[in-house]
Amino acid sequence: MNPTAIPLEERIIFALDLADPGEARALVDRLCGRIRFFKVGLQLFFAGGWPMVDYIVGKGCKVMLDLKLYDIPATVQLAVRQFANRGVSLTTVHGYGPVVEAALAAETGIQILAVTVLTSFGAEQLRELQYPGTVDDLVLQRAEAVLRLGCHGVVCSAREAALLRGRLGHDFVMVTPGIRPAGADLNDQQRVATPGRAIADGADYLVIGRPIRDAHDPEACITAVQDEISAALAAMQR
């Protein structure tokens, strides 16, 4: 993927992690002049359903439908078929081979992203799984497996971005949640990075929600993040 081909206003995927569709629509209205990509996750989708997706698409913006599907393959394939012709650009499934294959087999034209390891996952969870390696090892293992199947891209923390780019190349989309501007609250995230670091390490899109939504001046926060993204991209071209 050509990292310079993505418009700056689409680099941030704003996470509409809200239970109130009216509040979500108001945020879309407020931010859509600066951000043109929005994430609809489980909470908002259960609250607002397809009308919420339709509203964002109707504003001329893109949607990442982040439902992280995980079920028997036949069910996943049938579910993903329901996403067709809704204007969804990206959607997520868990990075388990048969689930990824089923989502791809739906042939909707939507880019399928495999979630590698959630950004709230850390060393304690590895011990609970009795996994012998590190989080990096697990992310790389899952990313390699799903990309071999033809998955369009992965969702990983920015901490693993450089590793995946170095080992797996650039022919896939990389979306990184857990982005926190310097000094921001980490909330429930463990594996985080600043916007500039994430871009420099190979992320294509940055999922950001609370740091912008809760900022005293959200528009100024967006400007600062976009300036950091632009600087990182410029440095990569030197």
Amino acid at the residue 64: M
205 phi/psi in degrees, rounded to 5? -130, 145
SS3 annotation, the chain: CCCCCCCHHHHEEEECCCCCHHHHHHHHHHHCCCCCEEEEEHHHHHHHHHHHHHHHHHCCCEEEEEEEECCCHHHHHHHHHCCCCCCEEEEEEECCHHHHHHHHHCCCCCEEEEECCCCCCCHHHHHHHCCCCCHHHHHHHHHHHHHHCCCCEEECCHHHHHHHHHHHCCCCEEEECCECCCCCCCCCCCCCECHHHHHHCCCCEEEECHHHHCCCCHHHHHHHHHHHHHHHHHHHHC
216 phi/psi in degrees, rounded to 5? -60, -35
* Active-site residue, selected from the candidate residues 39, 59, 62, 68: 68
Active site residue 39: no
Amino acid at the residue 163: L
Residues recognised as catalytic: 68
